[in-house]
Chains A and B, each alone.
Chain A
Amino acid sequence: MAIKVDIDKNDEIRLEVPLVIKYGFNIPDIANKAQENIRNSLEKMTNLSIKYININIQSIERG
């Protein structure tokens, strides 16, 4: 499981983030939170604009 990062000619970032979620949590909520946190942190730290943050839920594990 690795995070993929692509930067295009316009310095826009596209991220592919694989996640394993704990059993019992709502996937859309978790995915949204993860996307927001990643976007906020990256924009704050790099000044690059983020085009997409794609989340791939790979499995659900016992919490």
Chain B
Amino acid sequence: MRIFTVLGILFYAVVLILIGIILIIFSINLLQPQDINNLLAYIQNNINSRIIVGLSGLLLIVVSFSFAQLILGRFQREKTIAFTTSSGEVTIALSAVEDLIRRLAGIIPEIKELRPDVVATKKGIVVDIRVVLRSEANIPDLTSRLQEITRSKIQEILGLEEQIIVRIHVVKIISAQDTERKRKEIEKEEPTIPFSGYGKI
């Protein structure tokens, strides 16, 4: 799926670049209206060229439709996890599951920041977590602990038997000195308010 998206984006980038180049060439007078006219006349007169142009047009339409469908399909992706009870349906917004995972950052002190992305697929629930760690953390230990905690918390709170796949991506490791430096920089950048102490006893 991802490869098709990349190919589609590349295709549109190439088409737009070509249009851009043609417009630039036209604007700097390298391409005369007569040339365009000749080219069009040649295509019009030659049956093979007409077939090629027609097929290219058809291909463009097909590619555009498939690409639009792919993109729209992704936007219309299921945004909830649902199950039924005797009284009706219960839907859980995936953003609610993301809220739940975000709370886990507080449990593990080595995690500075945590950004989850939850997707419900036919295989089960796929959780992608991007984490910012503090430098003292042991990454293999921590990530496996985080995976286990995430999986058990989701299962415990959602009460679902579905498979939960937890993928972790460590985006940054910050040292304690970094945090301290940043805090000092912010303090330094804070403007002093004139007469802020005025009137204080």
Contact = CB atoms under 8 A, between A and B. Distances in A.
Interface of A: 15, 21, 23-29, 31-32, 35-36, 39, 50-62
A63 to B, nearest CB: 10
B103 A62 contact: yes
28 contacts: A23-B103, A26-B159, A28-B90, A29-B159, A31-B85, A31-B90, A32-B85, A35-B85, A36-B87, A39-B87, A50-B87, A51-B88, A52-B89, A54-B88, A54-B90, A54-B91, A55-B88, A55-B89, A56-B90, A57-B90, A57-B93, A58-B96, A59-B93, A59-B96, A60-B97, A60-B100, A60-B157, A61-B99
Contacts of B157: 24-27, 60
Contacts of B99: 23, 59-61
Nearest to A38: B87
A27 B159 contact: yes
Contacts of B87: 32, 35-36, 39, 50, 52-53
Interface in B75-123: 80, 83, 85-93, 95-97, 99-100, 103
B93 A27 contact: no
Contacts of A61: 99
Residue among B91, B156, B158 facing the most chain A CB atoms (10 A cut-off)? B91
Interface residues of B, number: 22
A5 to B, nearest CB: 13
A49 to B, nearest CB: 12
Interface string B48-90: 0000000000000000000000000000000010010111111
A31 B158 CA distance: 10
A58 B96 CA distance: 6
Nearest to A23: B103
B81 to A, nearest CB: 9
A-B complex: 9 closest residue pairs judged by Cβ atoms: A35-B87, A52-B88, A28-B159, A57-B92, A31-B90, A60-B99, A53-B88, A55-B90, A60-B100
Given A27-B157, A27-B159, A56 B85 contact: no
A57 B89 contact: no
B139 to A, nearest CB: 26
A58 B103 CA distance: 16
